[in-house]
Amino acid sequence: AQSVTQPDIHITVSEGASLELRCNYSYGATPYLFWYVQSPGQGLQLLLKYFSGDTLVQGIKGFEAEFKRSQSSFNLRKPSVHWSDAAEYFCAVGARGTGNQFYFGTGTSLTVIP
Amino acid sequence: DGGITQSPKYLFRKEGQNVTLSCEQNLNHDAMYWYRQDPGQGLRLIYYSQIVNDFQKGDIAEGYSVSREKKESFPLTVTSAQKNPTAFYLCASSPGWGDRNQPQHFGDGTRLSIL
């Protein structure tokens, strides 16, 4: 069965510091992978997506993610965090042959301190 | 601009009452979804529809019902059988399932509370 694990429930970083949010997936073939961001009381906004090809993908707001097949991971990174990046981040996997279903992780809440 | 509109933003339900959450999209997407979001549990799939007049149960369909009479609309009814309806409800859509999976687009959600 497909699943997504985000091991970190909550992360706190200082403004200007680098950020890495972890995501591990379980799927038998090459998945489609996504990162979304959610501000309080809002819907989810797509940050970036991986379908195939280059394993390092660039997204909006200066975020990037790297797909590592050997580790079943798709970690999200940002070199320098801004206070406006404080939000909830969700990793998701879409798998071939499962209709249109996505599987979401439980999210990582990011706090940015001055 | 194309997008997904959910209404109302806040909704209150009395005991024994059914309430309906609206979701409308003008993206010409075939597939639509309803998720429930509770703190610390991420998003859980309630129902999804891949095409008009067809829908499938997700992981937590009990106490909910949907219809898909029009491509652009996918309303969710929270029935009195749902004993713990307090949550944030998100509607999403995607173009469909083709050669490349497309990301889901989300509305801004409806927060449902019990009176």
Q: What is the pLDDT of residue B98?
A: 53
Question: pLDDT-derived band of residue B99, with 50, 70 and 90 as boundaries?
Answer: very low
Q: Are B86 and B112 in contact, with CB atoms under 8 Å apart?
A: yes
Distance, in Å, from the CA atom of B102 to the CA atom of B20, rounded to the nearest integer, reads 28
Distance, in Å, from the CA atom of A76 to the CA atom of A86, rounded to the nearest integer, reads 14
The residue type of B8 is P
Q: What is the pLDDT of residue A102?
A: 83
Indicate yes or no: CB of A106 within 8 angstroms of CB of B58: no
Q: To 5 degrees, how large is the angle CA A20–CA A34–CA B74?
A: 135
Q: What is the dihedral of CA B81, A103, A96, B65, to 10 degrees?
A: 20
pLDDT in tens, B43-76: 999 999 988 999 999 989 999 999 999 999 999 9
Indicate yes or no: CB of B106 within 8 angstroms of CB of A107: no
Q: What is the pLDDT of residue B107?
A: 96
For chains A and B, what is the number of CB pairs under 8 angstroms? 59
A70 at B interface, C-beta within 8 A: no
For residue B115, count CB atoms less than 10 angstroms from its CB and return exposed for 0-12, middle for 13-18, buried for 19 or more. Answer: exposed
For A40, which residue in chain B has the nearest alpha carbon?
B108
Question: pLDDT-derived band of residue B24, with 50, 70 and 90 as boundaries?
Answer: very high
Question: How many residues are given for chain B?
Answer: 115
pLDDT in tens, A6-65: 999 999 999 999 999 999 998 767 788 999 999 988 999 999 999 878 899 999 999 999
Across the range B15-19, mean pLDDT stands at 90
For A4, which residue in chain B has the nearest alpha carbon?
B42
Mean pLDDT score of chain B, rounded to an integer? 91
pLDDT in tens, A66-111: 999 999 999 999 999 999 999 999 999 886 655 557 889 999 999 9
Which residue, chain included where needed, has tokens 């510091």? A17
Phi, psi of A69 (to 5 degrees): -65, -40
Which residues have C-beta within 8 Å of that of residue B107, sequence separation ≥ 6?
Answer: A43, B3, B4, B5, B6, B23, B25, B90, B91, B92
Indicate yes or no: CB of A101 within 8 angstroms of CB of B43: no
Q: What is the pLDDT of residue A112?
A: 97
Phi, psi of A60 (to 5 degrees): -85, 165
